[in-house]
Structure 1
Amino acid sequence: MPTTLDLYRPGVAAGLDAQAMHRAATTPDYFGWLAHTSAAGGCTRPIRLTGTLTTVDPTTGRVLHDRHTDDLPDRTLYKACGNRRAAQCPDCAWVYAGDAFQVVRCGLSGGKGVPASVARHPIVFATFTAPSFGTVHHRHIPSHTCRDRRRCDCRPAPCHARRTAATCRHGRPAACFARHDTDDQQLGQPLCLDCYDHDHQVVWNHFSGELWRRTKQAIERHLAALCRRRGIRPVRTVGSTGRVRTVPPVRVAHGKVAEMQRRGAVHFHVLLRLDGVDPDDRAALVPPPAGITVDDLAAAVHTAARQITATAPPHRDRPEGWLVAWGTQTDVRRLDSTTEITGRSVAGYLAKYATKSTEITGHCSTRLTPDTVGDYADPDGNHLARLIDACWRLGRPIHNATNTDTASSEHRQDAVDSGYAGLRQWAHMLGFGGHFLTKARRYSVTFGQLRDTRAAYRRTEEDSADTVTVGTLSFAGSGWLTEGDALLANTAAIRRRECRRAGRQELDAQLAGAAA
């Protein structure tokens, strides 16, 4: 089945005209079919469901109407796939990016149940990078002279310039004098594949979530100690069970997005907001004490990034484990009226990366199996093939012993390699098994709340707010029935999406003009 973009290529589109005309000519209620498929319009591979739809009066519980999907067009119910990856389904990813934008923005400026007072809390935008696992080709601009970084045309510096023509221990050049373009395929590739530590990188990806958890705890401990030194007293709160607890007067709420770099290592963009604690209502979002500023929050982030490390569990290939620590480049920026970056721009930036995955590395596949891993993993292949091979090799299972004498040894080996089983499960993600957008519970609104609000709005638009539809449905397949159906449904959806996008741009322009 071609993708949405493939449908408009001349060679493909010519073969779809007959299917599209057949649908429009033979369907008794063609516009009814378009309305029926509008819920999944624009989706690359919609889910087809079959079963019974029951309309119920929520007040009395009385069944008002029963309807089977056999009575619907195509004898099925269409539902959008909901894939967040823009490379897999652009339309569903566009919806997900809008929700991600709201999740991030509400934590910065309030709205949708979050008080607007959070905009006055100290907030920093930090970027945590992975350490170096070997020298790679990169593009570096020492000083920008352009006015707009999004359209930067500054000349980059040489990749890895050296005064002497040095070589690595494998005899390959250790210098590169090229000035790489932004779309250069060499970017992120090691200068020497044999010198690069692929095992360490996939292990770092796999345990980076644990490193972030410890870093977040260190930031909160640093701020709590700072409060004690400055004489800010802890807060006594009463839990739901009536138990009295003494907690620090400040806490940190975060929203985090993971971005995959060209070399295949993840780094994190994190918004950290400093909140206070209300002794009467711990769920309330109140400002922190006056004695703690945004500079203190930034200092706590820098301190934690320098000091916090973790050690991966022992592995049979490396009994001492691997060191998991942040790279040397930790960028921390304040978000307030004195800086050029705004909460809206940061929210848009993070929402964009929430729909991406490993596409920038050149690899994009579903979960690998023993039957398919051979197509991607190669210990002597290119950079990506070696990363996938490292995931599969380090996550290999241990076979059970065949006799009693070796059973205890095998049991010890199984305990030694605990924690690495997930590497095979996430080999298609180069070892990273975390979600690309996460947040603290108190940071902002949730995706579920946004989906519920959207569903309630649709029921109101359809004049069905007084009834509830209960579906007893089962999976019938995925994808459109014909490529012509995909062309017709997606064309209408793309037009609606472009109209909404143009309306949003016009509204933003009016708001910017009013502010000016």
Structure 2
Amino acid sequence: MSTLHRPGVAAGRDAQALHRVATPDFFGWLEHTRTAGGCARPIRLTGTMTAVDRDTGRVLAEQHTDELPDRVLYKACGNRRSAQCPDCSWVYAGDAFQVVRCGLTGGKAVPASVARHPVVFATFTAPSFGPVHHRHIPRHTCADRRRCDCRPAPCHARRDAATCPHGRPGACFARHDSADARLGRPLCLDCYDHDHQVVWNAFAGDLWRRTKQAVERHLAALCRRRGIPTVQVVTDFGRVRRVPPVRVSHGKVAEMQRRGAVHFHVLLRLDGVDPDDRHALVPPPAGITVDDLDTAGHVAARQITFTAPPHPDRPQGWSVAWGEQVDVRRIGTGDGDVTDGKVAAYLAKYATKATEVTGHCSTRLTPGTIDAYADPEGDHLARLIDACWRLGRPTRHRTSGTATPGGERQANLDTGSHAYPGLRRWAHMLGYGGHFLTKARRYSVTFGLLRDTRASYRRADDGSITVGALAFVGSGWLTDGDALIANTAAAQHRERRRIGREEVAHETWSGVAA
């Protein structure tokens, strides 16, 4: 039973909430905490806030946080993970939706002409590191995939499958339910290559970088073969360069599979190059189509492979390549299945998640906390975390018995062992240390622009700017009762906004239909 749901704790929380409501300045406190109302662990700040005239710089007013309720200023934590802070992740998901959608349809400083650019939605998965329990539906007959009730196929239906060297069967005839805890778990823990998987997670970002370069090389070669000339542009340093007439802009979301391997959902948009303004977003030349972009994604996924740097536990390194399941779909083909709105909502949803689907959710691990999660003889997740911690251990590569500390550092760089200490830093992410939502610079707007736009909107009717000299004093609400009140008010505010959006959408649709 959760601590907050135990009867005694719940009674204490309710008493704290009643005490807060009974205070004379309750409504002032509620308004004061509104900006951080739904945050699970708001940041508490103390210091001075000064209102300055925007035009003249004259000081209009000054206030110390001692004059505020609770004598602190509350600020939302801004955590993007829905498992850590539902309210802040809700704001992040909204921004992520706008970032992805603007790259497909335009808007917010992105020209509307990008809606006519060829776009594909590609999924790149990790290879197999050993057989795992999975749920596969060969043919869907349901009307709505979100409420799919189709019967899955048997997991690993092999009647002639032999037992593994550890005496475990290599077959599974179960038709797993979507909530089955066995999904993503290896058929044999001892046969599964946990080391290879965490190393693959660590180098997945580099694998994607090489893949995108291969896509662009493939398209550039097509342009040469079809006689499409290069474009002459001037760089920021004033140099004249000839570049391919097409380039690829991407928006990418990383999603963790149940087995703990990351895979990428990527939007690839084909753009042209303007010789007069190389930063402009223009359509690609007519000789390159969405078919070519589709083919380039498949070709790059098959071609790109490399070997991770040597490690004392594996001097030959590990192979890093994509798995066999590479799916490329075209957006806006008219079939109604893959639309810009659905793709944007899908990517925004997974941008707020991390390792929750695997069953593991923790903050960064330390030598003091690692033993609670890592176990070389434990379950699947415990072995993955143990592999991260073991492979990321400090190693020494001395070129001689009298090597200096500086020589050790250079030797580490020469052997490539500097690539693996990051596994310890990202052990709580099963080795993956990349961002869960990234994009090309030219793909769309930035999160910073969206945040600045919101701040400017709030200050639109106020001719002053607030300058704060604030210091951190803690995080979290002062009591569980305060958290209950603030989070309830924020949930009601979100529900009102959702209903309002639905009403506006209904009125707009009704007006168009009339």
Normalising by structure 2, we get a TM-score of 0.95
In 1, the alpha carbon distance for the partners of 2:223 and 2:122 equals: 22
Q: Secondary structure in 2 aligned to 1:290?
A: coil
2:389 is aligned with 1:392: yes
Residue in 2 aligned with 1:507?
504
Q: Give the aligned partner of residue 355 of structure 1.
A: 352
Distance in 1 (CA, whole Å) between partners of 2:107 and 2:8 is 48
After superposition, where does 1:122-141 map in structure 2 within 5 Å?
122-141=118-137
Q: Distance in 2 between matches of 1:13 and 1:373?
A: 31
Which letter does structure 2 place at the counterpart of 1:382?
D
Give the equivalent residue in structure 1 for 2:212.
216
Matches within 5 A, 1:108-507: 108-164=104-160, 166-340=162-336, 341-398=338-395, 404-405=401-402, 412=411, 415-416=414-415, 417-460=417-460, 463-464=461-462, 466-507=463-504
Does the aligned pair in 2 maintain the 1:311–1:324 contact within 8 Å? yes
Residues 152, 386 of structure 1: alpha-carbon distance in 2 compared, 3 angstrom cutoff = same
Per the alignment, residue 61 of structure 1 pairs with: 57
Partner amino acid, structure 2, of 1:39: T
Deviation at residue 70 of structure 1 after TM alignment: 0.5
Runs (5+) with no aligned partner, structure 2: none
Aligned with 2:20 (options 3, 23, 36):
23
Deviation at 1:514, TM superposition (A): 5.8
Deviation of residue 33 (structure 1)? Answer: 1.0
Please report how far the alpha carbon of residue 58 of structure 1 lies from its aligned counterpart in structure 2 after TM superposition.
2.4
Name 2:78's counterpart in structure 1: 82
User: In structure 2, what is the Cα distance between the partners aligned to 1:403 and 1:296?
Assistant: 53
- What displacement does 1:405 show? 4.6
SS of match in other structure, 2:192: coil
* 2:117 is aligned with 1:107: no
Q: Which amino acid aligns with 1:369?
A: T
How far did 1:29 drift?
2.3
Counterpart pick for 1:93 among 89, 92, 105: 89
Aligned residues: 508
Query: Matched residue of 1:144: which SS?
Result: coil
Cα distance, 1:265 vs. partner?
A: 0.1
CA distance in structure 1 between the aligned counterparts of 2:439 and 2:286, rounded to whole angstroms? 25
Greater shift in the superposed pair: 451-460 or 501-510: 501-510
Counterpart residue identity of residue 366, structure 1: T
Per-residue CA deviation, residues 77-118 of structure 1 (Å, 9 max, x unaligned), is: 000010100001100010000000000000000010101110
The two structures, once aligned, show a CA RMSD in angstroms of 2.0
What's the offset of the Cα at 1:432? 0.1
CA 1:402/1:329 → structure 2, altered by over 3 Å: closer, same or farther? closer
Say if 1:45 and 1:280 are closer, same or farther in 2 by CA, change over 3 A: same
CA 1:443 to 1:413, structure 2 compared with 1: closer, same or farther past 3 Å?
closer
Letter in 2 for 1:351: A
Percent identical among aligned pairs is: 74
Q: CA deviation at 1:414?
A: 6.8
1:448 alignment partner AA: G
Is this contact kept in 1: 2:307–2:320, CA < 8 A?
yes
Most deviating of 380-389 and 336-345: 336-345
Question: C-alpha distance in 1, partners of 2:328/2:208?
Answer: 15
Could you tell me whether the CA contact under 8 Å between 1:105 and 1:344 is conserved in 2? yes
Distance 2:7 2:454 in 1: 37
Supply the distance in 1 between the matched residues of 2:379 and 2:508 (Cα, whole angstroms): 49
Unpaired runs of 5+ residues, structure 1, are none
Q: Which whole-Å CA distance do the structure 2 matches of 1:279 and 1:182 have between them?
A: 52
C-alpha contact 1:313 1:418 (8 A) present in aligned 2: no
The residue type equivalent to 1:98 in the other structure is G
**Alpha-carbon distance change, 10 to 124 in structure 1, aligned in 2, over 3 angstroms:** farther
Distance (Å, rounded) in 2 between the aligned partners of 1:318 and 1:509: 61
Worse overlay, 331-340 or 280-289: 331-340
